[in-house]
Amino acid sequence: MSSLSVAVRRRFCVVGVLVGVALLGVALSGCAAGPPPASAPVPPPAGGGLDYQLGGAYDPPAGVDIVVRDSTDEPAAGLYSVCYLNGFQTQPADSERMLLDSPELILTAGGGPVRDENWPDELLFDTGSAATRTALAALLLPQVTACATAGFDAVEIDNLDSYTRSAGLLTAEDNVAFARILVAGAHDHGLAIGQKNAAELAGPLSELFDFAVAEECDRWQECGLYRAAYGDRVLAIEYADDLRADFAAACAVPDRPGSMILRDRDLAVAGAADYVYERC
């Protein structure tokens, strides 16, 4: 799994993604409860100091309580650790192999795979049927298990919003149906699980997920949506190249997420020339 190439998602405003939110609420309320986990999932500490290390692991700065790392890295010793997984698209290094070995799991249009237009080496998974979701679960759930075995406290599943890039072939309900499987798998191992982006779905999804991971919610003026749904259980990351004013202004916004940081978009390791890290 290549962490650097998939580390950061540029957020784009998408028109029309609110369709189906009401249906999601109905669907979520009807979820059957799974078997109780050995230990109840614990969300990240509310308002805790955050570091987002998807570009590579390093010793966190002083005052950090929560560290997000790629699943290929070890959890941060003594800190609340979140394991990153790309749950709705392929990892770049796996895309060609997936096309050869499991083409039925890749969303296709016009005779070819549907690619993330901003990350063209990532292919969208086809979450549009129960059969493909079951097959995708066989691929992803062992990775969730590996995060638990490694000692992580939680997982964040990236690209929940892939349906907005599917040319209308997928719906929010398709992706939430698959997310429901991943949530159950995480909870079975005592892991908390975070909603990644898709602010417009935060209301109904807060009944399913345990916390939220929000990229550039200040830039897109979405922080309030996450806060209204998840309260203090929001991990917010802004990026130095896109911050609309300066980070001090973002930190001064009333009712901002308590765990808010500024990072370089490549999420470089500490000591690198382009490394940026600030915390409110």
Domain range summary for the chain, segments of one domain joined by +: 48-279
Q: How many CA atoms lie within 13 A of 197 on its CB side?
A: 27
Q: How many CA atoms lie within 13 A of 251 on its CB side?
A: 11
Q: How far apart are CA 201 and CA 204, in angstroms?
A: 6
Of 237, 239, 279, which is closest to residue 60 (Cα–Cα)?
279
Q: What is the predicted pLDDT for the residue at 241?
A: 84
Q: Would you put residue 52 in left (φ > 0), alpha (ψ -120 to 50) or beta?
A: beta
Q: How many CA atoms lie within 13 A of 208 on its CB side?
A: 27
The predicted model scores a pTM of 0.86
- What is the CA 78 to chain-centroid distance, rounded? 23
Strand partners, 108: 113
CATH of domain 48-279: 3.20.20.70
Confidence of residue 119 (pLDDT cuts 50, 70, 90): confident
Mean pLDDT value of segment 132-157: 97
Q: How far apart are CA 126 and CA 169, in angstroms?
A: 9
Confidence of residue 244 (pLDDT cuts 50, 70, 90): low
**pLDDT for 62-100, tens place per residue?**
999 999 999 999 999 999 999 999 999 998 888 888 888
The chain-wide mean pLDDT, for the chain, equals: 87
Distances (CA, A) of 273 to 8, 14, 53, 187, 238: 18, 33, 16, 39, 19
Confidence of residue 184 (pLDDT cuts 50, 70, 90): very high
Number of helices (H) and strands (E), helices first, in the chain? Answer: 7, 13
What 3 state SS string does 146-212 have? HHHHHCCCEEEEECHHHHHHCCCCCCHHHHHHHHHHHHHHHHHCCCEEEEECCHHHHHHHCCCCCEE
Q: Is the pLDDT of residue 226 over 50?
A: yes
Q: In sequence order, what are the residues at sequence separation of 6 or more whose Cβ sits closer than 8 angstroms to the Cβ of residue 143?
A: 71, 85
Least confident of 83-97, 188-202, 226-240, 262-276: 83-97
Least confident of 13-17, 46-50, 53-57, 65-69: 13-17
Most confident of 10-24, 40-54, 238-252: 40-54
Mean pLDDT value of segment 186-196: 98
